[in-house]
Structure 1
Amino acid sequence: MTDAQQLFDYARRQFNEIADDVERHFEQVAGQLKQFVPNQLRTVPTPKRLPPPTTLELAQRWISRHKALTYALVAFVVTGSVGAIVFAKSREHKKKRRARRSASGARTDVVVVAGAVANPLTSALYLDLERRGFVVYVVANTSEDEHFIRAQSRVDLLPLHIDPVDPFHAQDQINRFTALLDREHQAFDRAEPHRLNFVGFIIAPDTQTTPARVDSISSEEWSNALNAKVLNTIATTQLFLPSIIEHKAKILLLTPAVTPALRLPRHAVESTVYGALKGFTSSLAAELQTEGITVSHFKLGHIDVPSITAKQRREGITTPRFKPTPLRQLHDSVFDAMVSKNPRATWHVGRGSLAYDIIGSWLPQTAIGWMMGAGRRPNIVEQVKEEDLQGSAGSLTWEKVESEA
């Protein structure tokens, strides 16, 4: 081996040693740096892209930037909505509800009213129907009822004498009524003939009775009440059913609902009559549903009947704290139910009707008794006069109940 070759090998060994020392030094420095540098600085996360803002977030940002304009828009919407509701109510109140007429101007729509003829609420109802352009037939069971109807001196308000006790005479009267609907009529000579259309059968029985304890009600009183208020109503409805089905007439049942809903003591007869009529109309509605005939139950609350109100003022009876529902609302609701294609099955008319119906359905009897003040004034209902109980669906009994509530 020559000297040059030895020198070259020596230089290479020295270079490798120096390189190894440098590499070990850098590894040592790197290890020390790893001990002192935090982990979060060693791994830099990849920046995440934020999702686009939603519509709600954009709306919130816009509202936060334009608070004054937002308040103005909210105030405008609220006042506009209230104004629209008031306008709709006023327009509904001013809406003319009139029965249809023929080309010659004659009346064509027929309504039959069955119930308490002399009841102020019932008499106000059939008089209003006659004023609206209906031919109104009122079922009269006695000669006194027939005389009362004729005393109203209305051309298109006619009595229809039907005595359920005499089925042959009653059927004869129904046949005459059916023949009246089937034949053509002329308003005057050379006028275009027209037919009558049976549009509504209104049942308005007087379900109210004198308050009494169950143990003091005789079997004769039970029999009279059920015969006069339930069986007569069912028998009269059965007589008119063929004509109702043929002409697709609406059936309306009007009953006071406050006392039966609350199940008050000393009102067993009234609650029993109400329950019987409600069960009858419910079953009848299910049977007539296939015929396309609707049965509507009007649950009446406190209604202001002018004749009853005037009588109470003359007798010095204090007026209730809360204003009752005007009688016109009942008349408008009855008209709407008869002319509507799909009327509701249940109508709540009168102050307290819906509220007491809900209370009586959900609260236990003990809670209702506590609300009515049972134990403080147990004779509150006995203070009502019998003639007031028989007077109207807006009778004094309801006012006493509502004043206690």
Structure 2
Amino acid sequence: MVDPVEKTFDSVYYLGQRAQYAFNSAVGTASEASSAVSDKVVSVCDGLYKITGLGGEGQASEQGHGIIGAGGSGKIWGIDGIKTFQRKNKLVSTLIGASTLGIAGYFLQQLVRSQLLESSKPKRRRAQRLENGARKDVVLIVGSVTEPLTRYVANDLENRGFIVYITSTNSKADLKFFNNESVQDVKSLIVSNEPNNDEFNADQLRKFDYLLSSDHIPFQGASPNKLNLVGIIVIPDLFFPSGKFHMIASSTWSNSMNNKIMLPLNLLTNGLIGVAEKFDSNIIFITPTLSSSVQLTYHSIENITSQFLQNLSFNLSQDYPNLNVTNIKLGSISVNCNNSKKNYGIKGIGLKSLHYKIFDLIYNDDNNSIEYIGTGSRFLNNFGGLIPRWLIRNYFDNYFGTQ
């Protein structure tokens, strides 16, 4: 029959060891803590020996190991020695076990409290600045200012201390936006969305590179500094016309392909990759995935565009391993930038999560190739292909089948 006291002591000893190990691993002072606890227990044992008169000729060794003196036969302080001692001195061993567990519990309590306090501290996401407080980090957004998501991301980055450049095609809508823009650090980079205008875009990117590499004086009297392109974000226009092929005009197809697909590709092949490599910039593609994950019926432009940009992001990272390329796959988010059927009844999350993710990706040195933001993004990306095609077709026939 197992001695209850012996069983209790074994449990106390095991829990004490586990608690001490967890504490030592987290704090990083395993050897010091272990030595301190051992010395404390040994000193308590020596004191108890003297008080109870149980001490024999055992003394502490020069190496600091406790010796249990029992009739002059020394046993090294270990699990066997402890068990022998506790069988002969059950009251004393119970007190020692309770003291050890109390010390370990106190250390664990302090550890958990410090971790909770650390995790409760809000992370301050602010762009790095010069010692004089001037801005130095630049983010380039390849997108349209007529797209609400582009403006939201640009404004958030500017509020966090970045200098933000947004590509502009000199259209009336773009010119109107930048003429009315009162924020000094949201600027325009003029590009062309014409497929045969490679020379113009290459020249604009050379000028942009020269601007970043030249001395920059943030304010009068400040020392000159150079800007740093920390991030390039590709945000396609998230408005996609829906309907059968014959319902979409050829001009709409052409404009969508030029602005959403050919423009990012044109800039990358005409110097933007070189600029990213020079400044070690992180590249982020933001692509909607609710439709493309299941290849929704009557959403051909959106499906083609999203799949192309996702493949472009993947192949860019494969061909240029030194570049930090990430594809943020968007689920349902609360942005009023699309038609009423855009989120397909899926409740979207707020933009704050997207803003946080973009900031973290800009400054991280080793990003994941794919990130998921928004309701349904990860689930549909992984399991969307399992949804029966007849179910998808029947559902969307209610919207477009009779048109």
- Aligned partners of 2:193 and 2:262 also within 8 Å: no
Local SS of the residue matching 1:241: helix
Residue 236 (structure 1) aligned with residue 267 (structure 2): yes
Distance 1:83 1:332, change over 3 A: farther
- C-alpha distance in 2, partners of 1:131/1:195? 21
Cα-to-partner distance string for 1:172-223 (whole Å, 9 max, x where unaligned): 3222211111111223344232110011111001254221123544555433
Q: SS where residue 187 of structure 2 aligns?
A: strand
**Is structure 2 residue 223 aligned with structure 1 residue 199?**
no
Query: Do the aligned partners of residues 88 and 236 (structure 1) sit closer, same or farther apart at CA in structure 2, a change above 3 Å counting?
Result: farther
8 Å Cα contact 1:146-1:161 kept in structure 2: no
| Superposition pairs of residues 111-122 of structure 1, within 5 angstroms | 111-122=139-150
Alignment of 1:195-344 (within 5 A): 195-217=226-248, 219-238=250-269, 239-289=271-321, 292-305=322-335, 323-344=347-368
Alignment partner for residue 380 of structure 2, among 327, 335, 356?
356
The amino acid that maps onto 2:373 is V
Could you tell me which runs of 5 or more consecutive residues in structure 2 were left unpaired when the two chains were aligned.
1-6, 16-109
Give the number of equivalent residue pairs: 304
CA shift for structure 1 position 326? 1.3
Q: 1:83 & 1:189 partners in 2: Cα distance?
A: 48
- Name which one, 1 or 2, has greater alpha-carbon Rg: 1
Identity %: 28
CA distance in 1 between counterparts of 2:323 and 2:371 reads: 17
SS of 1:113 mapped into structure 2? strand
- 1:171 — aligned with what? 202
Higher relative contact order (CA closer than 8 Å, sequence separation 6+): 1
Give the RMSD, CA atoms, in angstroms. Answer: 4.0
Deviations for 1:228-287, whole angstroms, at most 9, x for unmatched residues?
211112112233122111111011001111110011100112111111222222111111
**Native 8 Å contact 2:168 2:188 kept in 1:** yes
Q: CA–CA distance in 2 between the matches of 1:235 and 1:282?
A: 17
- SS across alignment from 1:333: helix
**Alignment map for 1:1-400 (pairs within 5 Å):** 91=121, 94-143=122-171, 144-165=173-194, 166-217=197-248, 219-238=250-269, 239-289=271-321, 292-305=322-335, 323-361=347-385, 363=386, 365-366=387-388, 369-370=390-391, 374-375=393-394, 378-380=397-399
Q: Is the 8 A contact 1:257 1:357 kept in 2?
A: yes
Structure 2 distance, partners of 1:131, 1:146, is: 22
Q: Deviations over 1:314-368 (max 9, x none)?
A: xxx9x9987521111101100000101111111101111111111224x1x52x6
Q: Distance in 1 between matches of 2:200 and 2:215?
A: 25
Is the contact made by 2:144 and 2:167 (CA closer than 8 Å) also made in structure 1?
no
Partner SS, residue 146 of structure 1:
helix
Report if the CA contact (8 A) 2:198-2:266 is conserved. Answer: no
**Structure 1 letter corresponding to 2:318:** A
Q: 1:113 to 1:308 in 2, by over 3 A?
A: closer
- Change in CA separation of 1:180 and 1:257 when aligned onto 2, cut-off 3 Å: same
Give, in angstroms, the shift of residue 122 of structure 1. 1.1
Q: Does the Cα contact within 8 Å between 1:185 and 1:195 map onto a contact in 2?
A: yes
Unaligned runs of 5+ in 1: 1-54, 64-79, 384-405
For 1:388, the equivalent position in structure 2 comes to: none
Contact 1:135–1:157 (8 Å) recurs in 2:
yes
Q: Per-residue deviation at 1:381?
A: 6.6
SS at match of 1:259: coil
Q: TM-score if structure 2 supplies the norm length?
A: 0.65
